[in-house]
Structure 1
């Protein structure tokens, strides 16, 4: 039995200990609940919590046959996802104490594999920019990012080993970057979205957070149903494309230093590393993502806009107003432009296994009145490509810094295997 507190161990380690009978799920859950009790009064990662129910479920799993890959593992769930046993409020007072009758599909899938949900984590209002109370566990005066604010903070602060999130612009990768953990956004369409508050049919993607690449791969295998994600992490030396994107001018000095260090370390070890140049005549992918998001959100939230507009935040009202000005014909044109861009960017992966690109412009900004800019995530979300954030450095304010890897459509297992290869060769993930 390990002497480390179970809540500090990785999900992969605890799963192995539980399977060998060296750790009881109830002991793991107790350690996580103790950490939540100690820290969540400051961090505010959770919006709803039921410690007694979590302990009851964990004790049942102490003696039950192994249910699956996540047997006995605590899993935090973003409050954009329906749960039958917790209120689901979508980060909005409009849905205070709203009680769905069933779990979202991803929650049900994780529970079927043995995960135990101690509570729901804070999301920004309808997963847009208006923040909740969550603070960055590395420095409580800074944002954890959004919209999956609570999920990222809970994992980073050792409250749970795994958490679910969603990304429509940058809501997995950005908070992972700010909180110094691993964030995984699967290929668009590989994870079911039933039972999750819909914002954008074209963009919404379900993924998750953990403290190591192998941990998000474990969760990803459950979310996608693809056991290759949790397979052997022994890829051939990868071909790495350096893709700073046209937004590089917005990158701060901390990320520039992290980029240079990653290139210095990885270049001699990779099978090949060179610049990956996006086709020069692509449309402005960031602007295209913003336009599609505004149009689809204005329609997805038509009920809320029609019945209780005054209770929506000013930033959300502005986005929805902009979206209603976009015609359906224009939206079709935007979808065609997106499909064309997807096909052309896909050709880059004939020469590269992964693209290395920024996750965010810098460290988590000071203050919790905003969640930071998803600038470096928007294009990859639009293209639907799988992404993973790898933390490996600290910036000038002693806050986490890392970089993003992007893979070929559908090759999530190869992306994660390469991410593990890379994470072993650059500095260890940031610890709280």
Structure 2
């Protein structure tokens, strides 16, 4: 096995015992990039010499943090001190802020090797699409907006990468690319230094190739309770199956993934039960869109005024309130979200997690359609933690995942559940 093939968890063990160095792992990842980047196009910025210098600096460090020596891809709307942050926008082409975003600074402080910038949909929102292709089929999207991050991890270019989620931009690409993804509880990871779209929705997340990889990053961010895992056996778990208010748009492979995951868990001894969300959830998707577009008016006003000719039409429409969002609608959406958060949290601790779709189906053909976020956006508005888990292959041989969801600030417990159920759900 080449070093680039290792999960972050396996690589960390070798880095800790001295059988692998950060520089050797980085060189291996760069070799993988040289082989695959022309096809996958995961990176908007990659300087091999800089990546190696960052690795050597880590190898020389006295303290060894939880991410020691692990190459990390950073979504190109999150600032990095030593690399440009373009946001996939001509307005910021080549811009280098000279300061790390909070999440990058924390990762660097915990020993991660900041490897390169992964391509994204413009401002992680709309407009221009990433050039990235799905590594399983280059004719298909890897999803968006964390396009390059999910693809880079799936294609072995890096073991870890940062994404963000405002609608479905972390969990949906995880499903399309067949990797593990985590969207933590809203606000537990400092988003300073990442482009702001919606202060109610924007959440820093991350990708790995195993549940343990996700836990490493959670440990770096000191998520509540993550330092004391509480392991339950499969037969002690109670998981609710939730189709949600948008089940009518699920493809056949989406239905198969959810049903297969539930059957596999039940056969392994997990207690499964159907969960029907109460009536207020029928409008939760509409509420998320109101918040998204309502807060997006201010999110792109600066660019609208400073460089209107370089700003994509999508963002002009947001600033100009093309959707006609009213203050009354905003108040309604905020109030509905608050009500639904309490209703969902009340399902716990009676349940250990909720199992629900991660995407409508397989990754669409082409780059323009990055996929429907409808199975993600409600959970983003609810501020709850979500973990994407690979499950099956669809009719075109593409990955189709599921996700497990927990209550707000239940990130640590959800990681424990993921560690138990992932080997059952992800039979491949």
TM-score range, shorter chain: over 0.9
Question: Is the CA contact 1:240–1:270 (under 8 Å) kept in the aligned structure 2?
Answer: no
Q: CA deviation at 1:156?
A: 0.4
State which of 152, 157, 160 in structure 1 corresponds to 2:158.
160
User: Does the CA contact (< 8 Å) of 2:230 and 2:413 recur in 1?
Assistant: no
- Residue 45 of structure 2 aligns with which residue? 48
Deviations along 1:384-409, one digit per CA (max 9) or x if unpaired, are: 00001000211110110110111111
Q: 1:283 to 1:256 in 2, by over 3 A?
A: closer
RMSD value over aligned CA atoms? 1.7
Distance 1:342 1:228, change over 3 A: closer
Alignment of 1:392-407 (within 5 A): 392-407=391-406
Paired position in structure 2 for 1:326: 325
Partner of 2:218: 220
TM superposition shift of 1:281: 3.5
Query: Where do 5+ consecutive residues of structure 2 fail to align?
Result: none
| TM-score for the superposition, normalised by structure 1 | 0.94
Query: Quick one: which of 103, 108, 112 aligns to 2:100?
Result: 103
Between 1:314-323 and 1:203-212, the stretch displaced more is 314-323
**What is residue 31 of structure 1 aligned with on the other side?**
28
1:279–1:345 CA contact under 8 A, matched in 2: no
Match 1:124 to one of 108, 121, 126: 121
Deviation per residue, 1:129-167 (Å, 9 max, x gap): 331211001100000000010101100000000000110
Counterparts of 1:64 and 1:104, CA distance in 2? 21
Distance 1:349 1:210 in 2: 27
2:54 touches 2:114 (CA, 8 Å); kept in 1? no
Instruction: Supply the distance in 1 between the matched residues of 2:384 and 2:426 (Cα, whole angstroms).
Output: 25
Aligned to 1:68: 65
Shift of 1:59: 2.3
Q: Give the Å deviation of 1:327.
A: 3.4
In the alignment, the residues of structure 2 paired with residue 329 and residue 280 of structure 1 have an alpha-carbon distance, to the nearest angstrom, of: 21
Q: Which residue number corresponds to residue 346 of structure 1?
A: 345
8 A Cα contact 1:228 1:413, kept in partner: yes
Question: In structure 1, what is the Cα distance between the partners aligned to 2:400 and 2:56?
Answer: 38
Aligned residues of 1:166 and 1:205 also touching (Cα < 8 A): yes
Match in the other structure for 1:172:
170
1:350 CA drift (Å): 3.9
Partner residue of 1:229 out of 219, 223, 226: 226
Q: 1:144 to 1:376 in 2, by over 3 A?
A: same
Which runs of 4 or more aligned residues in structure 1 lie more than 6 Å from their structure 2 counterparts after TM superposition?
Answer: none
Structure-2 separation of matches of 1:311 and 1:63: 43
Q: CA deviation at 1:252?
A: 1.0
2:54 matches 1:57:
yes
Quick check: 1:129–1:370 contact (8 Å CA) kept in 2?
no
Give 1:145's aligned residue.
143
User: Any idea what SS the aligned residue of 1:304 has?
Assistant: helix
1:291–1:323 CA contact under 8 A, matched in 2: no
Q: Which runs of 5+ in 1 are unaligned?
A: none
After superposition, the C-alpha distances for 1:179-205 in whole angstroms (9 at most, x for unaligned) are 000010000110001111111010010
Matches within 5 A, 1:8-23: 8-23=5-20
Given that 1:218 and 1:230 are in contact with CA atoms closer than 8 Å, whether structure 2 keeps it comes out as: no
Shift of 1:330: 3.6
The aligned residue for residue 261 of structure 1 is 260
Change (3 A) 1:56 1:368: same
State which drifts further: 190-199 or 347-356: 347-356
User: Corresponding residue for 2:197?
Assistant: 199
Question: How many Å separate the matches in 1 of 2:161 and 2:195?
Answer: 17
**Whole-Å Cα distance in 2 between the matches of residues 279 and 299 of structure 1?**
33
Which residue does 1:311 correspond to in 2?
A: 310
SS of the equivalent of 2:4 reads helix
- Sort the Cα spacing of 1:338 and 1:163 in 2 relative to 1 into closer, same or farther, 3 A: same
CA distance in 2, matches of 1:262, 1:213: 16
Inter-CA distance 393–233: structure 2 relative to 1 (3 Å threshold): farther
- How many angstroms apart in 1 are the aligned matches of 2:93 and 2:147? 19
* 1:114 corresponds to 2:111: yes
Q: Could you tell me whether the CA contact under 8 Å between 2:184 and 2:384 is conserved in 1?
A: yes
2:281 is matched with 282
Secondary structure in structure 1 of the residue aligned to 2:114: coil
1:234-269 residue CA offsets vs partner (Å, 9 max, x unmatched): 324211001011211111111222222212221243
In structure 2, C-alpha distance between the alignment counterparts of 1:315 and 1:278, rounded to whole Å = 33
- Residue 349 of structure 1 aligns to a residue in which SS? coil
